[in-house]
Amino acid sequence: MGLLFLFCFRASYAEYEAERERLVREAIIAEGIKDEAVIRSMRTVPREKFVPPRLEKDAYLNRPLPIGYGQTISQPYIVALMTQLLEVDEEDTVLEIGTGSGYQAAVLAEIVKTVYTVEIIRPLQKSAAERLSSLGYSNIKTYAGDGYFGLEEQSPFDAIIVTAASDHVPPPLVRQLKNGGRMCIPVGQPYFPQVLKLLVKDEKGGVTIHDILPVVFVPLTREKDRRKE
């Protein structure tokens, strides 16, 4: 019985590895992601561990999937693209707004020194924290709260990634970005195609914003909206 169980477990693990490799080849590399560190990270992080058990079998579709509380884990290609746009390395400290499942944080944590991540829905923050610690990601610090205000006490950051859409770039996040830093954020109205924007702060603190591509993200909610629920 024990042996059989072990065999089944190993077989399904190998199956997920094969599916992950296929996804990386077909939806990440073939779609133009070139950063070797990003590709390596996408090959490493087990997305099946970040989705609800009933959706495990869909973990390697190049799609967003529901994670409860009306929220989603982002599409793998978009995770890879946003990570590549940040141009981060092993010396960097990154702030993520919108922890969700913790998957994007894990993809970053494979590359950078430290990831700080903020989630407004407390049960999601709690389950992501548990998941990330059980997977051994000791360089990710999770916080519950409204990420609109960033994390003043840990700032400034080399890069900031926002994984929920806002109708404007939150000024506190721009302030908390280092000179020479990069921020990736979807900007637009809730539930309409938004524009993924890359904000680059130069060495003197000047900001330029580039439009990357249309995307659909869940909205960046505010504590005041949530109190009305």
Out of 41, 72, 127, 176, the only residue in the binding site for ligand SAH (CB under 6 A) is 72
Taking the least distance from each CB to ligand SAH, the nearer of 57 and 222 is 222
CA distance linking residue 125 with residue 143, whole number of Å: 7
CA distances from 218 to 10, 64, 93, 98 (A): 35, 11, 25, 10
164 binds ligand SAH (CB under 6 A): yes
CA dist 26 and 32 (Å) reads: 10
Active site residue 74: yes
Nearer Cβ to ligand SAH, position 2 or 53? Answer: 53
**Do residues 34 and 72 lie in contact, with contact meaning Cβ atoms separated by under 8 Å?**
no
Stretch that binds ligand SAH, among 3-11, 37-45, 97-105, 176-184 (CB under 6 A): 97-105
Which of 106, 113, 123 has the alpha carbon at shortest distance from 50?
106
Residues 153, 50: Cα–Cα separation, whole Å: 28
CB of 119 to ligand SAH, least distance (A): 5
Q: How far is the CB of 185 from ligand SAH (least distance, A)?
A: 12
104 phi, psi to nearest 5 deg: -60, -40
Determine which residue in the list 60, 116, 137, 148 makes contact with ligand SAH, applying CB under 6 A: 148
Question: Residue 115 interacts with ligand SAH (CB under 6 A)?
Answer: no
* Residues making contact with ligand SAH (CB under 6 A): 71-74, 97-98, 100-101, 103-104, 118-121, 124, 146-148, 163-164, 218, 220-222
